[in-house]
Amino acid sequence: MNLNKIVLILLSITVVSCLDLSSITQTEYLEITSEHLSMIENEEEENNYIVDTLQINKTLAQPSTDKIWELSNFKCVTPINYALKETTSGVFKINLGTTMITSDDPDFFRIEVEDANVVDMVFQDYSNFFYINADKDSITIKNIIEGLQSDTKQHEIFHTDNESFVIYGDKRNFNVIHLNYLETLKKMEVFINYQKSGPFSDLSSRDLFTLALSKLRMARNFHAIKNIDEEENWSHITSTLTRYHRKLANLTFKAIKSTSEEVPIEKNIEISVPDFDMSINIYRGQKIDTIQQDFKIFKISETIDLESNTLLQNATTKLLNATYTGSELTLLQTGNNAFVITDGYSKRLFCFYTIENTPILIRVTDEYIDSGSDDNLDLYFEMFKNLEKGFDVFY
């Protein structure tokens, strides 16, 4: 799955009655940005009390998606939003208290880590695993902390277990160091993540801290290889979202649920949200109940021929013909009132919901054309299961 699509999105909500698109005569636009978050959050509360040991431990123990990598010296695992690159290049001189990581070392080797969740955001992070010829006890968190505290930059220590990791920084940048001695290689694995947030960053201090926690969780589980059950794997996909994106998802859900029966049927409402890659159309009207009943007769992997099928109501056939190019449809995923359907060219997520006793149909798409590559439908499928309750965003 390509989580680079999590950034730069267009989300549009279209409200019509009885699935009659010809009735739309005017459009209103609203853009949801990070500025709207401040309208529903207390900024002081958002940035204070960053360190909560109970919540930190809960976050570090939270399961996430797994992707197995076969590297030169070992297999490892990361959440699916990470990409790894082995390299001997780069210029580095990093002081670890009693030890220096330097690219001048003839055995210099690192694994570069890229997090798709922060690509193109007004924020940067730099993550690497370094491999050092060292004894097991020659590099310790205690020595690293002593070095950080004696540094002229006056680093603040935010959280440490005094054995394997430390999170430090300056309340606008939270850096991570994690140690793991690899007996098989006789090397110390040192994971280092540096944050660099610009003056126009949309992320709060708590958002930045949770990003650091996600890096630490990845480093701690880097060698925890286990068999992957694909269905179980995808069920953890929302935990790969940043806290910032979960907050924006809640804001999007709020916009959907505030869609009122008072909106005239001739009006088209489009809402853009710059940090997701999806568009959403909302249909409401008296035919939605019958369409929902039709969708429930669909079976996984069964082919539905729109030209010959006589079981579907007329409104359902009109909707599907307006949605797809091909006439043969296949149901790929289904849940409680949620369906992912394809015609072999494009995929759509349909979700049924009730607002003010009025049934609505939410159609979600990223305009994905099936070329054999992954898309974001699994993410949307899991996200919209949380439409009613939203996401936990404390950490």
Average pLDDT over residues 145-163: 87
pLDDT at 47: 64
Residue 4 has pLDDT above 60, yes or no: no
Q: Per residue in 316-356, pLDDT tens? A: 999 999 889 888 999 998 988 999 999 988 888 999 998 87
Angstrom distance (rounded) from CA 81 to CA 217:
13
Largest CA distance in the chain: 77
Block residue for tokens 């995929």: 347
CATH of domain 67-225: 3.40.1000
Count, residues in the chain? 395
Q: Strand, coil or helix: what is 36?
A: helix
337 within 8 A of 353, measured Cβ to Cβ: yes
Rounded Cα–Cα distance for residues 115 and 267 (Å): 40
pLDDT at 78: 97
Q: Where are the extended beta strands (E) located within the chain?
A: 15-17, 26-31, 67-70, 75-78, 82-87, 93-95, 100-102, 110-115, 123-133, 156-160, 165-169, 174-182, 187-197, 267-272, 279-284, 303-305, 328-335, 338-342, 347-355, 358-365
Q: What is the DSSP letter of 244?
A: H
- Evaluate if pTM is beyond 0.85: no
Would you give the distance in Å from CA 120 to the centre of its chain? 14
- Say if residues 83 and 4 touch (Cβ distance below 8 Å): no
**In the prediction, which pLDDT does 17 show?**
43
Q: Using the predicted structure, report yes or no on whether residue 301 has a pLDDT greater than 60.
A: yes
Question: What per-residue confidence (pLDDT) applies to 258?
Answer: 81
pLDDT for the residue numbered 221: 96
- CB neighbour burial string for 86-123, b if at least 16 within 10 angstroms, e if fewer: eeeeeeeeeebbebebeeeeeebbbbebbbbbbbebeb
Q: How many CB atoms lie within 10 A of CB 308?
A: 8
pLDDT tens digits, 89-139:
999 999 888 888 999 999 999 999 999 888 767 678 899 999 999 888 889
Query: What per-residue confidence (pLDDT) applies to 11?
Result: 34
Q: Give the residue, 154 or 120, on which the prediction is more confident.
A: 154
Question: What does the alpha-carbon distance between residue 218 and residue 243 come to, in Å, rounded to a whole number?
Answer: 16
- Is 263:282 a contact under the CB 8 Å cutoff? no
Question: How far is residue 126's CA from residue 203's CA, in Å, rounded to a whole number?
Answer: 17
* pLDDT value of position 46: 64
Query: With the C-alpha atoms ordered 392, 117, 339, 266, is the resulting torsion angle positive or negative?
Result: positive
What is the Cα–Cα distance from 67 to 84, expressed in whole angstroms? 11
Q: Which pLDDT belongs to residue 87?
A: 96
Domain ranges of the chain: 3-34+239-386, 67-225
